[in-house]
Amino acid sequence: MDDKLAPHIEELTKALGNTNVLMIREELETLLKFRVPMEEAKRTVLRKFRSTFLPVKQIKDLSAGLKAFEISGRIIEIEEKTVNLHGNVSTIFSGTLADETGACSFTAWFDFSLKKGDAICIKNASTRSWHNRPELNFGERSDVLKIPDDSFPELEELTRTSPKKLNDIAYTDMTTSAVAMVVKLYHKNIKMREREMTIIEGVIGDDTAKLPFTSWIPLSDVDIGSVIRFDGASVRMFRGLPSININENTSVTIVDPSFEEVPFTFDSISQKPGPLPIGEILLKDGLFDVAAVGNIISIRPGSGIIQRCPVCNRVIQKNTCRAHGPTESVQDMRIKVILDDGTGAVSVMLNRENSEIVYGKSMFEAEEIIRTAMSQDAVFEDMKRALTGKYLGVRGNTSRTEFGVTLVAESVWSPDDDMKVRVSDLLGLLEPVGENING
């Protein structure tokens, strides 16, 4: 009997993490005594223990919409706020929690008498999406315990932002510092709180990545090609892509590359990025200016000739916009493909211009196909025939949406790397095998 149970108990222990094996066994045996079928019994045990033994997470593991987990960290900032919730005035505490893997903002909906510097463990916490990054939430139904102070690095160490490579900046950084070169820069007039102001937007890059940036303060002497060192810039997230925000709390200094060596030049940064394996691209929620090469393994519905609302540019059906009601329509063409290189699969969006290049037919020719075939699907079907299975190279930005990671293509091409070189390189690696077998 015992031996028969062992594999099931092992499976349950594995699924539940570090749970007490004896308790699982006892529970399972009781259920089996009642002649509950094994699968059903396992299910019940799993449900029962899942609520007592919560999965333990670190800040780097957080994503929006998680429920019932345990997390520990040190409070590096906390403030009391009064909010008006459905007519009830209540006090909440918001701040930042940090561990070795990063920092994350939190809201405590209940007074746990926490203060800055406390090392705490929160049981039954949840997350929600706030400013496009996960925010930790805990309230009356959570348990908050003070844990030994030496469980986490000192406050000072956790709040210090050591310079990072752009590629390493993620949602776990509330603020960041780095050395990077400005590769694009333009001024933009915006209206904020009824006041006209000029902000600077652009792109910075180093030897690892490029990222968009916004400066809310004037940057004197900074132009395209300048290398800047910034400290304490805030990191905002949009669809998984970090952007650098320079504000009055950020210090910006200009680095002179002739005095201080930097591992990049304007040419090295502005070069077309080499294609990355898609599996690697998927590791990040969002990447700025990357390239990939793979096979079009599927053309998704929604590709072809589409109608857009002239006001908001939304895709509309039957001349009715979701936001603007019955309206005129603007004709457009797009292709949505799944690009797969054997290491990962990413959805790629092609606008009209890129669709025409990839499809090899202009929008007008496509309209002609619809007219001749008298079917809206004719173009979609024709695209499938023309493109499924083919190779495609794309360059653009990726972002994570509810449908997974999407790359919006800025340019496309048909890959033409030299087969001869690749084949002879591979054969070079494989030849020794042949000798062993033949000899």
Partner 1 sequence: MVEREISYRLFAKEFNDSTFNIHAKLEQLNQSEGRAPNFLVTPAGLRINRLFVVGVVTEIDNIGTDNDLWRARVVDPTGAFIIYAGQYQPEAAVFLSTLEVPSYVSVVGKARTYEPEDGSVFVSIRPEEMNVVDASIRDRWIVDTAELTLDRINIFSDALSSGLKGSELHEYLTMKGAPENQAEGIVLALDYYQTDEGYLKDLKTALRDGLRSIDLTGSGGSAVEADNEEFILGLMKEMDVGKGVDYGELIGTARSRGMSENAVETAVRSLLSNGQCYEPRIGILKVVS
Using CB under 8 A as the binding rule, whether residue 33 contacts partner 1 is answered as: no
Chain Cα centroid distance, residue 281 = 10
At 102, give phi and psi (nearest 5°). 155, -165
Q: Within 10 Å of residue 233's Cβ, how many Cβ atoms?
A: 25
Closest CB 402 distance from partner 1, rounded Å: 7
117-120-122-125 Cα dihedral, nearest 10 degrees: 20
Using CB under 8 A as the binding rule, whether residue 344 contacts partner 1 is answered as: yes
Using CB under 8 A as the binding rule, whether residue 427 contacts partner 1 is answered as: yes
Footprint of partner 1 on 307-326 (CB under 8 A): none
d(C-alpha 381, C-alpha 116), whole Å: 61
Nearer to partner 1, 173 or 382 (CB): 382
Closest CB 21 distance from partner 1, rounded Å: 16
Query: What are the C-alpha distances in Å from 148 to residues 128, 172, 175?
Result: 28, 23, 27
Answer for which of 317, 376, 390, 411 binds partner 1 (CB under 8 A) is: 390
Using CB under 8 A as the binding rule, whether residue 342 contacts partner 1 is answered as: yes
Binding range to partner 1, per CB under 8 A, among 36-44, 68-76, 97-105, 240-248: 36-44
Nearer to partner 1, 50 or 308 (CB): 50
Using CB under 8 A as the binding rule, whether residue 297 contacts partner 1 is answered as: yes
- Residue 51 — left, alpha, or beta (φ > 0 → left; ψ -120 to 50 → alpha)? alpha
Binding range to partner 1, per CB under 8 A, among 71-79, 166-174, 219-227, 381-389: 381-389
Using CB under 8 A as the binding rule, whether residue 46 contacts partner 1 is answered as: yes
Question: DSSP code of 106?
Answer: E
Question: DSSP code of 330?
Answer: E
Answer for which of 110, 184, 388, 408 binds partner 1 (CB under 8 A) is: 388
What's the one-letter identity of residue 203? V
Q: How many residues bind partner 1 (CB under 8 A)?
A: 42
Nearer to partner 1, 156 or 418 (CB): 418
Using CB under 8 A as the binding rule, whether residue 15 contacts partner 1 is answered as: yes
Using CB under 8 A as the binding rule, whether residue 434 contacts partner 1 is answered as: yes
What's the one-letter identity of residue 353? E
Query: What are the C-alpha distances in Å from 36 to residues 2, 32, 44, 315, 347?
Result: 17, 5, 10, 53, 45
Closest CB 427 distance from partner 1, rounded Å: 6
d(C-alpha 367, C-alpha 373), whole Å: 10
d(C-alpha 321, C-alpha 323), whole Å: 5
Closest CB 297 distance from partner 1, rounded Å: 5
Q: Would you give the binding string for partner 1 spanning residues 232-271, x where CB under 8 A is met? A: ----------------------------------------
Closest CB 340 distance from partner 1, rounded Å: 5
- The answer to whether 262 and 268 have CB atoms below 8 angstroms apart is no
At 208, give phi and psi (nearest 5°). -115, -30
Closest CB 98 distance from partner 1, rounded Å: 26
- State the DSSP string of 233-268: EEEEEETTEEEEEE-TT-EEEEE-TTTS--S--HHH
d(C-alpha 183, C-alpha 178), whole Å: 15
Residues of the shown chain interacting with partner 1 in the complex, contacts defined by CB under 8 A: 11, 14-15, 39, 42-43, 46, 279, 282, 295, 297-298, 338, 340-345, 384-385, 388-391, 402-404, 416, 419-420, 422-423, 426-427, 429-431, 433-434, 436-437
